[in-house]
Amino acid sequence: MKKSFLTSSVLAGYGLMTGLQAAPQQKPNVLLIVCDDLNDYVTGFGGHPQARTPHIEKFAKTATAFRRAYSNCPVCAPSRSSFLTGIAPWTSRALGWPTWYKHKVLKNCYSLAEQFRRHGYRVVGSGKLMHHVKPELWDEYPHKPDYGPFVFDGKKRVAHPSVPEPFRSIGPVDGSFAPLEDIPFANDNNPKSGWIYGTWGKIRPFQVRPDGTRSLTPDEINAKWAAERLHRFAAERSDKPFFMGVGFIRPHTPLH
């Protein structure tokens, strides 16, 4: 039987969680936004000369800012499973990239989404929240994590030729951080090479056209879904509250 380790005081500490009041005397709707490996270079949190983030700076002036908040683990999978279950990695011993819902400790714990669901919420999500997604824990989860666009050389995913070392040698996930206008292998006369979607599995072309238009990035797809789903929630006028989680891949590399 699963144990509940999250309390109301813990939930109150989630800095990126925004309560959207549905109606007086009702449970609030909740929107959780997660960015991958976003550090304090953004303006409003120490900043960096090359990082210009006016929207985050504006938001920080009105929001509650946690200026001494630290990741529980240096890598993404255990860090996410820790903050979304309430179990510290030094307690669970989940320190690498195990599938959290199969882990000997974490599989017995409720995730944040499950807690909301147990308390009468509709739970919907998209993108990279947990490192490994278990869609059946959600009422809706249309898009799993996609770290793309990636570079495809016609045979396999590779790092972008323009990315400098050492990132280019690491591989496609940490070596595809290049301008989309810099179409890889554009002069190879191979119709299969170029930008693609998908971290693994099926190859799907990512289009960058001569007129400047292009396909939506995975993050843009998730943002579009979230905006449209929020409008649908508003139109439904349901008495049942919702919890929405939206996970963005960027910035990830090379800012982690």
Q: Supply the DSSP string of 116-179, one letter for each residue.
A: HHHTT-EEEEEESSSSS--GGGSSB---------EEE-SSSEE--TTSPTTHHHH-HHHH--S-
Can you give the pLDDT at residue 6?
41
- H-state helical runs in 7-85: 8-11, 54-62, 76-83
Write out the two tokens for 121: 């919420």
Please tell me the distance from the alpha carbon of residue 198 to that of residue 201, in angstroms, as a whole number: 7
Please tell me the distance from the alpha carbon of residue 168 to that of residue 201, in angstroms, as a whole number: 21
User: How many other β-carbons are positioned within 10 Å of the β-carbon of residue 59?
Assistant: 14
Can you give the pLDDT at residue 81?
95
Q: From first to last of the 256 residues of the chain, give the pLDDT tens digit.
A: 565 444 333 333 343 344 455 445 689 999 999 998 888 888 878 788 888 899 988 988 888 888 888 888 988 899 999 999 999 999 999 999 989 999 999 999 999 999 999 999 999 999 999 999 999 999 999 999 999 999 999 999 999 999 988 888 988 988 888 899 999 988 777 888 999 998 888 889 999 998 989 999 999 999 999 999 999 999 998 999 999 999 999 888 765 4
Bond before 251 cis per omega within 30 degrees: yes
Domains of the chain, first to last: 8-145+218-251 (3.40.720.10), 149-216 (no CATH)
